[in-house]
């Protein structure tokens, strides 16, 4: 087994977030040459934000993600050995497994390599032993879908290495299935899809039923997207997610007696809400109402951004947060505080929680000239109220997964 020295941790701490993206290509290439020899294929896959559209994906609804500048780099080469040799720059750790017979280790970073390889094996693709080095610069705990970026980066690299010509959709689905089967995460398609299909200065209006998207040009002018990480994650997040999902499914079953053609809540419109309210108990109605209205907010948001109406888009962001907080009940005091304080701040057009909820980030549409003042005021007020530091992360809408270095 190849021996590695101890290595530094690549993940970014709250105190060392980069002002700009740093590129790991040269560093990864040098490290790969030092320990494995040769020049690897290097692939990159980004993390993602979601502009609007939370808790709609598992009702086959609409979401509006975009790739960002942070991501995961993967270097690979064939090694003509009966095993695969892995090294993580983030964890300073090696791992080796027999590619002919392996079992992914739940909770370990190597699971994402073995999980994706298992998908290729099940699909009948040929492969052999390889060496791989992985590193990234996605800020920890920011909800930028580092695991999806990792899977998509691995898939993009292996597709190139073995000449598989996998489509972005295939890579997205294999990445999703890998998380389901081997990481124990019942995630939707949005995260790997955005990482695989992302385009610079474009957001993806994604239909989670058809797995098709429309590219929407994004021109923010004098405004910018800023994440504010609450740096909390409340313990009830996982159980609450399962409860919300079950509530949606129960609502659909009850509503099908009156709306026999619906498959999920995405098939209902705002104009149906009065009837829906009469048919569902109040505890289910407020959850169903969020999904129905959020799907329409997503489509309205795409229209407003296409026409450059940032103020209208910002209002939809605010409406989305209120619905997630008061109706779907997946926010928390910290996220509500950050969103509501942002609404009061000059230069902020919109703010809302982003992601599953109960912690994580808010996403803010803010005038660039006001960012410094915003960070100082919100940071101080958040610290005073919760005795916890907030982290601010500027994001740029960037390109999706691609090969940086191919075979010479």
Question: Is 381 in contact with 373 (CB distance < 8 Å)?
Answer: no
Q: Which residues are documented as binding site for substrate?
A: 54-57, 241
Q: Specify the pLDDT at position 142.
A: 83
Q: Specify the pLDDT at position 326.
A: 96
Share of the chain above pLDDT 70, in %: 93
Question: Is 358 in contact with 325 (CB distance < 8 Å)?
Answer: no
Q: Specify the pLDDT at position 22.
A: 66
Per-residue pLDDT reduced to its tens digit, 119-138 = 999 999 988 999 999 999 99
**Confidence band (pLDDT; 50, 70, 90) for 9?**
very low
Indicate if the pLDDT at residue 155 is higher than 80. yes
Residue 216: which H helix or E strand, with range? strand 212-217
Indicate if the pLDDT at residue 354 is higher than 70. yes
Share of the chain above pLDDT 90, in %: 81
**Confidence band (pLDDT; 50, 70, 90) for 236?**
low
**How far is 94 from 112, CA to CA, in rounded Å?**
14
Q: Which residues are documented as binding site for Mg(2+)?
A: 147, 179
Per-residue pLDDT reduced to its tens digit, 16-43 = 333 334 689 999 999 999 889 989 999 9
Pairing of strands 65-78, 41-50: antiparallel
**Confidence band (pLDDT; 50, 70, 90) for 289?**
very high
**Confidence band (pLDDT; 50, 70, 90) for 237?**
low
Structural domains of the chain ordered from first start:
14-218+398-405 (3.30.230.10)
Question: Is 29 in contact with 40 (CB distance < 8 Å)?
Answer: yes
Distances (CA, A) of 285 to 105, 241, 290, 309: 40, 17, 9, 31
Q: Which residues are documented as binding site?
A: 54-57, 88, 141-147, 179, 241
Is 274 among the residues known to form the active site?
no
For every residue of 295-351, DSSP letters joined together read: HHHHHHHHHHHHTT-HHHHHHHHHHHHHIIIIIS----HHHHHHHHHHHHSTTEEEE
In three-state secondary structure terms, 292 is helix
- For the chain, what is the mean pLDDT? 91
Torsion of CA 291, 295, 298, 299, to 10 degrees: -170
In three-state secondary structure terms, 261 is coil
Q: What is the pTM for the complete model shown?
A: 0.91
**Confidence band (pLDDT; 50, 70, 90) for 171?**
very high
Indicate if the pLDDT at residue 55 is higher than 60. yes
Residue range 312-327: mean pLDDT, rounded? 98
Residue with the bigger pLDDT between 188 and 392: it is 392
User: Which one of the listed residues 90, 131, 191, 267 is annotated catalytic?
Assistant: 191
**How far is 179 from 99, CA to CA, in rounded Å?**
19
Q: Specify the pLDDT at position 242.
A: 84
Residue range 91-96: mean pLDDT, rounded? 91
- Of 96-100, 137-141, 149-153, the one with minimum mean pLDDT is 137-141
Highest-confidence segment of 4-18, 173-187, 392-406: 392-406
Q: Specify the pLDDT at position 233.
A: 87
Residue range 160-177: mean pLDDT, rounded? 96
């Amino acid at each position: 087994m190849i021996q590695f020295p101890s290595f530094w941790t690549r993940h970014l701490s709250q105190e060392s977030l980069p002002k700009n993206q740093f590129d790991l290509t040269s560093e990864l290439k040098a490290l790969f040459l030092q320990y494995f020899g040769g020049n690897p294929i290097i692939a990159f896959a980004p993390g993602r934000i979601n502009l609007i559209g939370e808790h709609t994906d598992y009702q086959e609804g609409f979401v509006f993600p975009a790739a960002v500048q942070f991501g995961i780099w993967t270097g690979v080469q064939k090694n003509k050995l009966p095993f695969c040799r892995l090294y993580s720059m983030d964890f300073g750790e090696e791992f080796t497994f027999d590619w002919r017979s392996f079992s992914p280790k739940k909770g370990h970073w190597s699971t994402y390599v073995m999980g994706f390889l298992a998908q290729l094996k099940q699909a009948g693709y040929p492969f052999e032993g390889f060496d791989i080095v992985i590193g990234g610069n996605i800020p920890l705990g920011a909800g930028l879908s580092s695991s999806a970026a990792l899977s998509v980066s691995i898939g993009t690299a292996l597709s190139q290495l073995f000449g598989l010509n996998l489509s972005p959709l295939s890579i997205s689905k294999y990445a999703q299935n890998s998380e389901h089967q081997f990481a124990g995460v019942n995630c939707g398609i949005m995260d790997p899809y955005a990482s695989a299909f992302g385009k610079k200065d474009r957001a993806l209006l994604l239909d989670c039923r058809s797995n098709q998207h429309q590219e929407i040009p994004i021109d923010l002018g004098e405004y910018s997207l800023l994440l504010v990480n609450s740096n909390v994650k409340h313990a009830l997040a996982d159980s609450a997610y399962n409860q919300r999902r079950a509530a949606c499914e129960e609502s659909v079953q009850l509503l099908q007696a009156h709306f026999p053609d619906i498959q999920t809540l995405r098939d209902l419109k705002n104009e149906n809400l009065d009837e829906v309210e009469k048919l569902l108990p109040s505890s289910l109605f407020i959850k169903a109402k969020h999904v129905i209205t959020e799907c329409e907010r997503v489509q309205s948001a795409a229209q407003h951004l296409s026409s450059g109406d940032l103020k209208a888009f910002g209002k939809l962001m605010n409406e989305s947060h209120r619905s997630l907080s008061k109706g779907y009940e997946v926010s928390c005091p910290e996220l509500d505080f950050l969103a509501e304080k942002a609404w009061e701040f000059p230069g902020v057009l919109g703010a809302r929680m982003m992601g599953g909820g109960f912690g994580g980030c808010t996403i803010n549409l803010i005038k660039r000239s006001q960012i410094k003042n915003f960070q100082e005021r919100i940071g101080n007020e958040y610290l005073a109220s919760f005795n916890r530091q907030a982290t601010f992360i500027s994001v740029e809408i960037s390109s999706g997964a691609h090969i940086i270095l191919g075979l010479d």
